[in-house]
Structure 1
Amino acid sequence: WNYQLQTSRREHREGMVDESSLFAAYWYPRIAVFDDISGWDRIPHNIQTEFYGDFNDYDVTIRVPKGFAVWATGELANMEEVLSPLALERFLHSMESDTVVHIITPETLANGQALQDRQELAWHFTARNVTDFAFGISDHFLWDAASIAVGPTGRRVSVQAAYQPETRDFHEVAEIARACIGYFSIQMPAIPYPYPTMTIFNGYGQMEYPMMVNDMEMETMDDTKALTAHEIAHTYFPFLTGINETTDAWMDEGWATLLEFFACTELYTLEEPELAIYPGYYLHGYMGIKGAEVDVPMLTPSNQLLSPAYQLNSYGKPASAYLSLYYLLGREEFLKCVKEYVENWEGKHPQPYDFFFTISECSGEGLDWFWKRWFMEFHTMDLGLAGYRMADGALFVTVRNDGGMPL
């Protein structure tokens, strides 16, 4: 087997980043998923729809020339063999530090104190029970790291960022990511981050992998925060829960969009929140084409759709459905049911009806009407003003649901 590296820097998900940096994804043959619904997954991958992966343990050694660092899915198992004494000391400190530690800096790169002085460095990574493995390489990227305690045991997660020195925003990404993991673990969805590490790599993409994110620099810090939150949110959906992204993109991208929205409204202070990715891009885009021929039910298999129908059914529309469910159930009940859904299906492969049934059973509510209108029928988000009246010094407004969606 051999892997041909993408040399075009227009390829967003993997390939060359610059003359001496790359991000490697989809680089090895993966065994298709065999599930109890469809048997072997025979749907081919393409440039639009994403993936369906099974859970595996990875033990990977990546050999690179002198001076090159590697960041990857999982934990670095031989840090003392590849890091210089100074970098090793900083990395170990970062694993206990609530503040960002600069492990590789312009100074350590210039004076040769970043890595071991060997002609070849073998970087050894291990990862357990994940659906994929990706890695990035560079001889001039800077490296920041911190950690955060999650869960009742106080387990610490290593949060890292590897980036180009001249980037406009990545100097803050390690702290942004750290805060996001804490928020997701405690507030929404209030499920402890399940893995030991998370690394944000400064490539050309906007793409998630287990314990790895390949993100480009953004024009504004608002977008940087929103994008970082979105990609980290994929930890829960699809990775922890084994979602079939190929056919049911709304089951992962919709959740990532919702969690991004909550992070951007409850965790981060944005300069222009109305222009953030969910309200300013996905929701605004939906309102421009609602009710058009591309506005089809979300249970339509994702691999049968072309853009903009695919984008519509994967991101803004399901996020709106989940947000409506949140308001319907209330925060406490919503979090309880989402937690039960994740715990029931962690390491498995839930189908759409598994999600519907779990939430309905947990909440004790008859939600068939909600699922039917949001996911199975042709309805739109469209409210109208039916009338108003003044009484006792107050204004009473009657709102009419013209589109039929439960809002």
Structure 2
Amino acid sequence: MNRILSVFLILLTAALYGQQGPYYQQQAKYKMEIDVDAANFTYKGKQSLSYTNNSPDELKVVYFHLYWNAFRAGSMMDQRVQNQIPNGDSRLQQNGVSRLAGIPEEQAGAQNIHWIKQGGKSLKFEVQETIMKVVLADPIKPGATTQFTMEWDAVIPMQIRRSGRNNREGIDMTMTQWFPKIAEYDYDGWATFDYIGREFHAPFSDFDVQIKIDKDYVIGAGGTLLNPGEVKGYVPGANVKSSADGKATWKWSAKNLLDFAWAADRDYTVEQFTVLGGPEVTYVYQKSEKTAFWEQSKPHITKFFQIMNATFGPYQYPTYSFVQGGDGGMEYGMTTMILGEHRSLESLVGLMVHEGAHMWFQHMLATNESMSPWMDEGFTSYAETLVMSQLFPPKEPQPNPFVGSLRGYANFTKTGKEEPAVYLADHHDDGRAYSIASYVKGETFLVQLGYIVGEPTLKLIMKEYFNQWKMKHSTGRDFMHIAQKLSGMDLKWFYHYWINTTKTIDYAVKNVQYDVSSTTITLQNKGQVPMPIDFSILTRDNTVINYHIPMNMTREWKKNDIYGSFATLPYWPWTQNEYTFTVPFTKEQIAALGIDFSQRLADINLEDNTVEVK
């Protein structure tokens, strides 16, 4: 082989298999003028977009999301719902029929692009369902900034999923994913997933938005309202400025967000309070007996922000709004759209906590949730469980806050419907399987990680993850790099098993042999996922003696945990089916023994994990 060919093969191999290059992220700045025809549920839009290409690639095309095109009969979302009945999202179907199929034409969503220009030059574009492909007049070179302008009109769709008119609680307009939004471009290329009803992804952007609407409307949004004294609801006795057509103009600003969302209703009440060390919080909702829990929720939401700031990292924005709207709960930049009527305070706060926690794991740590929903929904669910256990402590003591989630996961594995968490968000074949893979397995991923490395180390990992990746687009690889570095362990095996497969954990106490001065115990791995094992002895004087059995694949062993000190035994090779060890306690001294007294291990069968000594 000659020298030139050798060099070529080396470079080719590096190109194909080399690591990702230096991190970059694109930058977008929107300036919009929106004129709403509230009576007909339509609006006209003008948009100027400054887009900076920070990638090393020259861009010859760009893509925009047109989410509202999904809200019509025959759309891809409608087709997906029909194909998934009865195992899809229950909110998208009724009596075994897709709700999208029954949308009247005049209430079907539409984003009609009149034109788009680049630097004044008209561009060719093609609308492919919810994606618009735009061929550029001038390629955007690395490091260059270009200007797009466009005009469009839109029909606000019938409220079915997140966006739309007249939701079931009587909110006039929930304006989410409502404008032509440029897609994210990163190392993996353009993120142009069609909107099928689940997750989103976008570049960090600045927003300057002016919304012209009937002066009797109140708007709740994610961002800073620049003219509160000129519009209804925010300043007592405000002198609402209106034009000759009876409309007021709302001026909003937001920096470094993934999205700008808003909702409008004539019956909204606005309430605000400030969290010490946190944001100014705004509630925008219809105040009535049905929404009485909103007032009671304020001290809990104050504690929520304080716990999140202390546990994961400080909130990075000046404001946050909880706005009544949508079809359940959905997070957007600096705001959440939630249903306002709840049967209990805990129900309302739980929804607020979950959606608010998304600001950490979807917006400040901006993972691509279309590709890795478990990193957003799962980490958010972990935070929700942790926070809610402090806001509403359980009546009966539990070994840890995550017992319910672990049992829910274990029960679902027995249905045979589990699907790997690695699946793309919209490509799960069963709605419940999506929920388990994304919410529950993502949550229990962190629970298992805490079990492996120890809770003190997990806390360090979560904080360092936030410190390194806040206001950036992180991936599972980025998270695992930090986890391995701070724990000193090899954790790739764990990531693979938990995210890429549906294999399960199932350990058992196989045999206990009592001797004159000791007891010999044999454990068995009956599952497909190897794990280190925490084992405990409960003596008859109620003392707990803990042992840790490392697994050789981690290479380093757990140093500490919050469930008491422990003695470390020789490691258990992951290929070995059984493990035998001896403890210096007799049968007369032991009340019980077993695997994982903390109940953090996601073992699918707990019945053979402990032995009560009689």
TM class by shorter chain equals 0.7 to 0.9
C-alpha distance in 2 between matches for 1:302 and 1:114: 45
Whether the 8 Å contact between 1:222 and 1:270 is mirrored in structure 2 is: no
Q: Does 1:260 align with 2:384?
A: yes
Residue 179 of structure 1: how far off its partner (Å): 2.1
Question: For residues 370-394 of structure 1, what are the alpha-carbon distances to aligned partners after superposition, in whole Å with 9 as ceiling and x for unaligned?
Answer: 2233223332254545456773433
**Aligned match for 1:194, one of 304, 316, 326:** 316
Range that drifts further, 216-225 or 26-35: 216-225
Amino acid at match of 2:206: D
Question: 1:3-402 alignment to 2 at 5 Å?
Answer: 3-8=154-159, 10-17=160-167, 21-36=172-187, 38-47=188-197, 49-82=198-231, 87-88=234-235, 113=237, 116=240, 118=242, 119-150=246-277, 156-166=278-288, 167-186=291-310, 188-189=311-312, 191-203=313-325, 204-216=327-339, 217-269=341-393, 283=406, 285-306=408-429, 307-382=431-506, 384=508, 386=510, 391-399=587-595
Question: For residues 264-302 of structure 1, what are the alpha-carbon distances to aligned partners after superposition, in whole Å with 9 as ceiling and x for unaligned?
Answer: 11233467999xx9766x555433321544323322333
Whether the 8 Å contact between 1:145 and 1:174 is mirrored in structure 2 is: no
Question: For residues 88-126 of structure 1, what are the alpha-carbon distances to aligned partners after superposition, in whole Å with 9 as ceiling and x for unaligned?
Answer: 37xxxxxxxxxxxxxxxxxxxxxxx46626432211111
Structure 2 alignment gaps of length 5 or more:
1-151, 515-585, 610-614
C-alpha distance in 2 between matches for 1:270 and 1:215: 25
C-alpha distance in 2 between matches for 1:387 and 1:137: 65
C-alpha distance in 2 between matches for 1:141 and 1:115: 18
Question: For residues 214-234 of structure 1, what are the alpha-carbon distances to aligned partners after superposition, in whole Å with 9 as ceiling and x for unaligned?
Answer: 111322222212111110000
Question: Compared with structure 1, are the counterparts of its residues 73 and 264 closer, same or farther at alpha carbon in structure 2 (3 Å cutoff)?
Answer: same
Greater share of residues in helix: 1
Whether the 8 Å contact between 1:143 and 1:162 is mirrored in structure 2 is: yes
C-alpha distance in 1 between matches for 2:196 and 2:593: 49
C-alpha distance in 1 between matches for 2:170 and 2:414: 47
C-alpha distance in 1 between matches for 2:214 and 2:222: 20
Question: For residues 174-223 of structure 1, what are the alpha-carbon distances to aligned partners after superposition, in whole Å with 9 as ceiling and x for unaligned?
Answer: 4332221111112x22x111111111112232111111111113222222
Matched-pair identity in %: 25
Point out which structure has higher relative CO (alpha carbons under 8 A, 6+ apart): 1
Count of residue correspondences: 368
CA RMSD, Structure 1 to Structure 2 (Å): 2.9
C-alpha distance in 2 between matches for 1:252 and 1:402: 20
Greater share of residues in strand: 2
- Counterpart position of 1:95: none
Question: Compared with structure 1, are the counterparts of its residues 365 and 404 closer, same or farther at alpha carbon in structure 2 (3 Å cutoff)?
Answer: farther
Amino acid at match of 2:255: R
C-alpha distance in 2 between matches for 1:273 and 1:157: 33
Amino acid at match of 2:342: M
C-alpha distance in 2 between matches for 1:257 and 1:402: 16
Question: Compared with structure 1, are the counterparts of its residues 253 and 201 closer, same or farther at alpha carbon in structure 2 (3 Å cutoff)?
Answer: same
Whether the 8 Å contact between 1:386 and 1:398 is mirrored in structure 2 is: no
Residue 343 of structure 1: how far off its partner (Å): 2.5
C-alpha distance in 2 between matches for 1:377 and 1:180: 34
C-alpha distance in 2 between matches for 1:125 and 1:372: 44
Secondary structure of 2:267's aligned partner: coil
Question: For residues 146-169 of structure 1, what are the alpha-carbon distances to aligned partners after superposition, in whole Å with 9 as ceiling and x for unaligned?
Answer: 11132xxxxx51111111222242
- Counterpart position of 2:110: none
